A and B are shown apart, each in its own frame.
Chain A
Amino acid sequence: MGLEEYKGVFIFAQQVDNEVSSIALELLGKARDLAENLDDKTVTAVLIGSEVGGLVDELAEYGADRVIVIDDPELKEYRTEPYAHALASAINEYKPEIMLVGATAIGRDLGPRVSARVHTGLTADCTVLEIGDFPLVAVPGKEDEQKHKQLLMTRPAFGGNTIATIACPDYRPQMATVRPGVMQKIEPKKGAKAEVVNYNPGFTPNDKYVTIEKVVKEVSNVANIMDAKVLVSGGRGVGSPENFDMLKDLAALFKGGMVSCSRAVVDSGWMPKDMQVGQTGKTVRPHVYFAIGISGAIQHVAGMEESDIIIAINKDENAPIFEVADYGIVGDLNKIVPELTKKIKAEQEAKANA
């Protein structure tokens, strides 16, 4: 493998229903940042889908210098095999130094398959990406063996209890899936244009192509909790699905406020799976996260601990949620939450009238 043949930072520009996913723009932001520290500063987006040419300009505005468009009717709805074929072929053809994929459901399905196909390492669910040396500190006497300008990929494991930094020094591309909501998009540059490369490796259905019987969009998914600025999140302690109305009232007071929940609530059938925060749900990073009647199992905490401000209300003073909360209140949520809603409303009205 001629490592030096591999150049530039590539991102997988995930689109769903011909709309660019937020993660693609986040990846572009990070790719720009990484490219600044590399010799080849080109950022390339690999756009895979059917009739997706119209999305090129948006990718350009968010930082893509070049967009490789792989457009084919077989690529209309995401399926592992044609997408893996598309991305793996693009990698083999264009030889990126770094390949970033979102750690979304699609990306976490696609990434491993592609990494196995192109024979390179893949680091899952990264939260920090940097360019640096590997080993981090040169082994004395072997200074010349230290590699520079390597992608250092940091990821949590054990439900967020440990972190590790991973490198991929001898294989290319250096590949990572990146946790959504962690990287920052750049301020879009209106009117920016990217070089467009149309590429089609050919798609011949084989046994690895699965048949799509049905795609059902969930109606409940009106907005995404990952986009919320304020989350009022309830756990089993809320007591009943009806009591979630209380949380909805509170959330409604904030711009970008939404209700979310813990896994226990989804398991009880009180809220749809879309609203679940945590390891098996979504990772959220709102400005304010209210944890109401949530005990704070590590699987839950893993999905919300990056929130700017965490406020926990729980009647159990020993609830682990208090370990991560910035402000913890031991008390009865049924009494506190309605009062809180009333008070904030009054404060907001007072300010509006002032």
Chain B
Amino acid sequence: MKIVVCVKQVPDTKGGVKFKPDGTLDRAAMLAIMNPDDKAGLEAALRIKDEDPENTTVTVVTMGLPKADEVLREALAMGADEGLLITDRVLGGADTWATSSTIAGALKNMEYDLIITGRQAIDGDTAQVGPQISEHLDIPVISYAEELKVDRAAKTVTVKRQFDDRYHILTAKMPCLVTALSELNEPRYMTPGGIFDAFKKEVTVWGRDKLDVADENIGKAGSPTVIAKASDKVAKGKGEVVTPDSPAEAVNYIVGKLTEKHVI
């Protein structure tokens, strides 16, 4: 069984988002990490591999700058078999539509039974690329997987996912695409030896010429959406913070404010 996992390198927002003096995002000041939902997707793939290591390969695909090689190494150190980096200047500036058609353009030249992507990336928060890839490949999609089971004999994937107020348990025929939530699992750590091996491995690098996608569907030119204005969030004015001497004083303070605002 061949599993492809799509991952993205994103800035780590855990320690807070950092801005440059001019107010734009300071990506360099934030650590670059594997997007958490994607990592859960990778873990799900590795667990499927654990069930039958001899007959399963996990290939990790990322699209980005050459630096994105790091997330592939991390994935290899966690246990993935192969890595593919899609990188080319002509692919820059892509929106979700062009990104998904580009990645689909790579996947068309690969073999896969199951594609797993994260639900969404913590930098863009769109949750669009996974379902859009599935559309470009004309295969079924199940999004927001919280549990995932593969039936190799029947060539199906069964997924439990939460959809607002209900759970769905859905079965799709392979090949198909599943988007994973970080709730899906607790990703494994790398192993120290795995790290050193990962850097010895060859990561495949594909430029534009290796992709089965039309020129009008890649990069900035292939992106239907255009940024009209990007600005940092205007933070809400800071409120007041008090340190009352007693619970009673704290209560009086809160009740005072609630009364003032006509809540009570």
Contact = CB atoms under 8 A, between A and B. Distances in A.
Indicate if A touches B (C-beta under 8 A): yes
Interface of A: 16, 77-81, 84, 104-106, 108-109, 111-113, 115-117, 119-125, 134-136, 152, 156-171, 207-218, 221, 224, 230, 254, 273-274, 279-280, 287-288, 298-299, 305, 309-311, 313, 317, 320, 322-332, 335-336, 339-340, 343-344, 347-348, 351
A279 B172 CA distance: 28
Interface string B204-233: 000000000000000000011111111111
Interface string B154-183: 000010001111111111110000000111
A227 B137 CA distance: 38
Given A166-B225, A309-B257, A340-B250, 12 more contacts: A81-B140, A112-B135, A113-B135, A125-B126, A157-B124, A161-B233, A166-B226, A212-B168, A212-B170, A327-B253, A329-B253, A330-B243
B263 to A, nearest CB: 6
B257 A109 contact: no
A111 B126 CA distance: 11
Interface in B130-156: 130-132, 134-136, 138-144
B181 A280 contact: yes
B123 interface: yes
Nearest to B100: A116
Contacts of A213: 158, 169-171
B97 A121 contact: yes
Contacts of A105: 144, 162-164
A16 B165 CA distance: 10
In the A-B complex, the 6 residue pairs with the smallest Cβ-Cβ separation, listed nearest first, are A121-B224, A328-B241, A116-B135, A121-B225, A124-B126, A326-B239
A344 B251 CA distance: 9
Nearest to A77: B168
A211 B170 contact: yes
A89 B78 CA distance: 43
A217 B166 contact: yes
Interface residues on B, range: 35 or more
Contact of A158 (B25, B101, B163, B253): B25
B232 to A, nearest CB: 5
A129 to B, nearest CB: 12
A311 B229 contact: no
A210 B169 contact: no
B48 interface: no
Contacts of A163: 230-233
8 contacts: A106-B164, A163-B232, A168-B226, A208-B140, A214-B168, A288-B261, A329-B254, A335-B247
Nearest to B240: A327
Nearest to B183: A280
A347 B255 contact: yes
